[in-house]
Each structure stands twice: as structure tokens, then as C-alpha cells.
């Protein structure tokens, strides 16, 4: 159709609006187009995106706004295949089926196992036209974390670090290595991720809040996750006292060993036995919460932990223009041997006296290429 890209782009922009608030569901955008039977005089009859907390779905919101007319033709554009399984409400496909919509167009098939045997094929038998693949490359990048969760049982992982020009993460003469422009981008990064992960050492040394503190983003702070095997964080740390944002602590202790001050509202403990305490298991547990996009902000050891395990999809480095010498801490610290992995530089941006570097791992690029073709 001559206007496919136009309306799928509008749906894509709608999906972006719900990105920071649709958790635990992926944010979907939907546009319902009204036109004549020869596909002329097209206009938007209804639109919507996934609402806060994942409900209502985009298609349901779009349908609410449509005043169907017998003399017109209707097409539905969705960024992701409309759901066909029953949850807390009737499925979106069932709602669409009851309308005069003649064409259902979406960018990508949904990898959710509940969508196997989807009713979408039956709709084509019932006379509705089903098409997919519009802007699928752009939309797959947007839904990469969701696809990783459903296919590999882990979220998309973005590792964020700040460094001096000679690869150090501390400076005895400066409180911050990154500048205010870089830190503003970090807060936007946090708002675009479902969760942020650090190690217990970062909490003990820096006592961070790990929230979004920019005007307009205050209510989009991600879930805070801390790997804290011994559960030895005292109750005076910000992530324990501030319960406006959910905090997950990952521990190897039994439930009976959890300290009283951690048995409070908005604090959740994930218990993983010592023999299974590895990054693969940790990420599987995290993904079970519906976390599709994870930002890792730990220190040199945490960076080494993720890089060595080959789980970093995107690497972001804010690099300052100063050289501090060998006395300061290095950017990455590996425990044991490290098998080389190639990263591709995707973006360079000057931020006053900082440089933003964005890299993608070869394995993540391969995953995208393979599954763009499949879905």
C-alpha cells in the first residue's frame, strides 16, 4: 500500500511514547486508518499506545476512538502482532475481528510462546487481509530486549561506563569524570530501561539513588537491582530507605537468613543457591519479572563480570579528556582469562569535554540479523 510506511512510522512514534511506562509489557503503537474503498482520502480514525503498567493495549485504545462508517474502508497498523491470547481482558485480535477493519498490518510477529497457533491466520480465512514486515528492521531494534527475553530468557544488556582518556574510572582531583551533559544523557538512559543493575560495592562506596532526576522523568525511574550475595546492606543506604522505586536484591542466602530491615514494601529478594549463582541464572531470574532492557552501571569488576560472560549487547562509554596515570582504577577488571570479543563502533558524539562512544557486540548484531529475517 502506498501509505504503509507513513502510518507505520506514526505507530512507531506512538510506541516510543509508552516506552518508559508500559512495563512489564512492551510498548506498542497502533493507528487505525479510514479511507475510501479505492484507498484514497486516507486519514487517521483512531490511535493509541500501550498504557502505564501495560494495560490497556495499543489496539484497544485505538479502537475506542473509531466511529466506523459503512461507506468507508479501515486498516489497522500495529508495531507488533496484536495479541491473540486471553489475559485480564479479551484479546486485541478478538476485538479487531468484531469490527469492519479489513486489513491488519504489523511490523513484526510476536515471539511470545502464547502466540503460537495465533488466531491471525483464521482472520485471513474470514476475509481479513494480514500483512507484516513494514519497517521491521527499525522496529526490531526497538523491541530487541523483548525478543531477547522471549528467545534467550535474558534482557538486552547495556553496559554504561565513564572513563578518563587513559582508561581510568577514578580521579583523585575530580568528583565526576563525566560532565553535566553526559550525566543528563545517563538519566535518559535510565528512563528508557526497565531496570538498572549495580554491585553491592557500588552501593557501599557511592550510596547512589539510581533514579531519574530530570524534570519530566521523575516518574520513569527503573527498577533497581543489586547483586548482594550476603544481604549485608544496612538500612541507611538510599536504595533501602527510598521505597518509591522497587529494589531487587540478588542473594545466595536462604529466606530464613534475610535481615528484618529488608523485609519491607518495594524490596524483593531473589534467592539463588551458591552452586547456581552465575550470570546466566541471574539474568534468567531478572527476565522473569518482565524486564526486557537492563542498564548495568557498576564498577570495573561488574563490567568485567558481564563482558567476560559475553552478555553485553551495547557498550556506552563517556570518556573525559584528562589523563590521570596508573595510580587510579582501571575501566575494566577481569577475574581469570578473557576470550576476545569484537565490538563495532556505532556512534561518536562530542559533549563539551566528554566524548560519547557507543559500541555494539558482534553477537548482538548477529542475533538481530537472524531474527529480523525470522519474524
Cis bond before residue 278 (omega within 30° of 0): no
d(CA 230, CA 199): 12
**Dihedral over alpha carbons 16, 17, 19, 22 (to 10 degrees):** -140
Cell triple for 42: 486516507
Backbone angles phi, psi at 225, to 5 degrees: -125, 130
Q: Which residues contact 266 (CB under 8 A, 6 or more apart)?
A: 243, 244, 245, 246, 247
Residue of 34, 59, 285, 328 marked catalytic: 59
Q: Are strands 195-199 and 156-163 parallel, antiparallel or unpaired?
A: unpaired
d(CA 281, CA 285): 6
Residue 341 a catalytic site member: no
d(CA 139, CA 14): 12
Q: Are residues 186 and 160 in contact, defined by beta-carbon separation less than 8 angstroms?
A: yes
Enzyme catalytic residues:
59
Amino acid at each position: 500500500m502506498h501509505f504503509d510506511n507513513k502510518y507505520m512510522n506514526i505507530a512507531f512514534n506512538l510506541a516510543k511514547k509508552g516506552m518508559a511506562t508500559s512495563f512489564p509489557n512492551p510498548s506498542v503503537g497502533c493507528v487505525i486508518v479510514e479511507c475510501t474503498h479505492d484507498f484514497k482520502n486516507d486519514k487517521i480514525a483512531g490511535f493509541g499506545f500501550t498504557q502505564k503498567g501495560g494495560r490497556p493495549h495499543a489496539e484497544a485504545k485505538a479502537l475506542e476512538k473509531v466511529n466506523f462508517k459503512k461507506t468507508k474502508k479501515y486498516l489497522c497498523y500495529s508495531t507488533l502482532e496484536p495479541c491473540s491470547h486471553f489475559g485480564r481482558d479479551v484479546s486485541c485480535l478478538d476485538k479487531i475481528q468484531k469490527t469492519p477493519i479489513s486489513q491488519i498490518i504489523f511490523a513484526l510477529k510476536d515471539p511470545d510462546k502464547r502466540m503460537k497457533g495465533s488466531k491471525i491466520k483464521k482472520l485471513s480465512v474470514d476475509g481479513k487481509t494480514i500483512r507484516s514486515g513494514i519497517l521491521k528492521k527499525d522496529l526490531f531494534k526497538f523491541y530487541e530486549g523483548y525478543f531477547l527475553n522471549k528467545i534467550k530468557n535474558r534482557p538486552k544488556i547495556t553496559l554504561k561506563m565513564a572513563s578518563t582518556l587513559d582508561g581510568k574510572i577514578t580521579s583523585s582531583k575530580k568528583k565526576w569524570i563525566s560532565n553535566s551533559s553526559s550525566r543528563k544523557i545517563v538519566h535518559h538512559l535510565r528512563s528508557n530501561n526497565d531496570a538498572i543493575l549495580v554491585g553491592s560495592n557500588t552501593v557501599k562506596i557511592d550510596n547512589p539513588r539510581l533514579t531519574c532526576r530530570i524534570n519530566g522523568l521523575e516518574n520513569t525511574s527503573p527498577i533497581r537491582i543489586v547483586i548482594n550475595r550476603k544481604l549485608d546492606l544496612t538500612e541507611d543506604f538510599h536504595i533501602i530507605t527510598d521505597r518509591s522505586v522497587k529494589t531487587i536484591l540478588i542473594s545466595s542466602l536462604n529466606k530464613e537468613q534475610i535481615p528484618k530491615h529488608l523485609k519491607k514494601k518495594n524490596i524483593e529478594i531473589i534467592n539463588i543457591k551458591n552452586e547456581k549463582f552465575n550470570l546466566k541464572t541471574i539474568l534468567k531470574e531478572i527476565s522473569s519479572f518482565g524486564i526486557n532492557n537492563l542498564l548495568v552501571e557498576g564498577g570495573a569488576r561488574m563490567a568485567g563480570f558481564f563482558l567476560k560472560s559475553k552478555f553485553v549487547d551495547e557498550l556506552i562509554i563517556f570518556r573525559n579528556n584528562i589523563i590521570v596515570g596508573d595510580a587510579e582504577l582501571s575501566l575494566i577488571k577481569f577475574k581469570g582469562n578473557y576470550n576476545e570479543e569484537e565490538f563495532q563502533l556505532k556512534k561518536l558524539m562530542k559533549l563539551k569535554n566528554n566524548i560519547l562512544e557507543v559500541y555494539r557486540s558482534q553477537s548482538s548484531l548477529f542475533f538481530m540479523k537472524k531474527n529480523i529475517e525470522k519474524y
